[in-house]
A = this chain, B = another copy of it.
Amino acid sequence: MNRKVRTLTIAFAFLTGAVAAQEVKDDFKPSIFNQSGQLYPQVNSQGYARFKIKAPMADSVRVSLGLGGSGGTILARDADGFFIGTTAGPMDEGFHYYHVMVDNGMFNDPGALNFYGSTRWESGIEIPAQDRDFYALKDVPHGQVSQVLFPSKSTGITRRAFVYTPPDYEKDMKKHYPVLYLQHGWGEDETAWSNQGFANLIMDNLIAHGEIKPFIIVMTYGMTNEIKWGGIRNFKIDSFQTVLVNELIPYVDSHFRTLPDQLSRAMAGLSMGGMETKKIALANPGVFSYYGLLSGGTFAPDDLKTDQQKPKLVFLSCGSKENPANVKKAADELKTAGFNAVSYVSPGTAHEFLTWRRSLKAMAPLLFR
């Protein structure tokens, strides 16, 4: 997460929380991302989160989420060896990573499932969004998410990708599909778009409602360089570009029924994945036709002037708590310069996964048309 954005978000939400704190509704329910049978963490209808951690002999337990003065929620000991606490204010709708500090050691919440973020498996909690229906698990035909192990000569190892194939993929063995290469953000990995992003369920639902033409999504790990906090400005794209363009795309085209041409290939990514999309798209003008930057920067018309073939679409998005004016302005300038550019702003969200779930939903109907 961008540190500047995070700081702003916390400041805003803290004020909101301080106002709302006097009327916390007592309708807390287990988060949908709890481990099987676990009652905590819980979320109420206003977006407050409540945590309950067993640590009978601990002196202090703190949760990294919750907008308190220390940037987290300090839990209080109860009589039964548990520490309990509620966030000082409501959280943004959607998904949040967090961890638990037990006597200053960093652990995960035993009640929650883990998700890969910040270069580690972190606890995750979901604040139900008003529009959560579009990524809900429903009784519709479901596609598959397949783990693929592909050889990478350039990095000298076997690498992993997950490939979403739509529900009708197994029905007609002669049908071929366009492909979206979809990248995660810094500190995340190839599991993010399926686990916390619900990319497969978003696609299943869009397809079931006839809102998109079915396509394949390929998600792989976008970090082949060493990247530490603060080091992302020095990020070199070459190594991952080789993996993606020279190794993964040919592998996918030979192991799945793809349409292996530029007009049937898109690339998009969130945050760092947007930066990767921009760099790789510009350095490889014959490979993709659709570019999506989700909270991941913008294209200027000048960026695209050396492109011999205009992209069919430039999609730019972010959360309303990020820098929506910048995204809209960039899309307007692209449109003025004759490009097919579309901007999308996710209401009430910051640099977090509900922004990107909604961005995928908004972008998918515009691809491969």
Contact = CB atoms under 8 A, between A and B. Distances in A.
A105 to B, nearest CB: 3
B106 A54 contact: yes
A187 to B, nearest CB: 10
Contacts of A108: 107-108, 110
A35 interface: yes
Interface in A109-128: 110, 113-114, 119-121
A18 B237 CA distance: 53
B158 A55 contact: no
Max count, chain B CB within 10 A of own CB: residue among A37, A105, A110, A200: A105
Interface stretch (A56-64, A284-292, A333-341): A56-64
Contacts of A110: 105-108, 120
A259 interface: no
B142 A158 contact: yes
Given A103-B58, A107-B102, A149 B170 contact: no
Contacts of A106: 54, 110
Nearest to A53: B105
Interface in A156-179: 158, 163, 170, 173
A144 interface: yes
A16 interface: no
Contacts of A151: 139
A104 interface: yes
Contacts of A347: none
A306 interface: no
- The count of identical subunits is 2
A117 to B, nearest CB: 12
A200 B138 CA distance: 29
A255 interface: yes
Interface residues of A, number: 46
A105 B105 contact: no
A59 B57 contact: yes
Given A58-B102, A102-B102, A138-B158, 15 more contacts: A36-B119, A54-B104, A54-B106, A57-B60, A57-B105, A58-B105, A100-B107, A105-B110, A106-B110, A108-B110, A114-B114, A144-B147, A147-B194, A170-B255, A173-B173
A144 B35 CA distance: 26
Contact of A121 (B35, B53, B139): B35
Given A119-B37, A142-B158, A105 B102 contact: yes
Contacts of A144: 146-148, 163
Contacts of A150: 142
A149 to B, nearest CB: 4
A242 B149 CA distance: 33
A76 to B, nearest CB: 15
B145 A55 contact: no
Given A105-B58, A107-B110, A108-B110, A142 B149 contact: yes
Contact of A103 (B37, B103, B148, B200): B103
B104 A56 contact: yes
A118 to B, nearest CB: 11
Contacts of A139: 151, 158
A64 B113 CA distance: 21
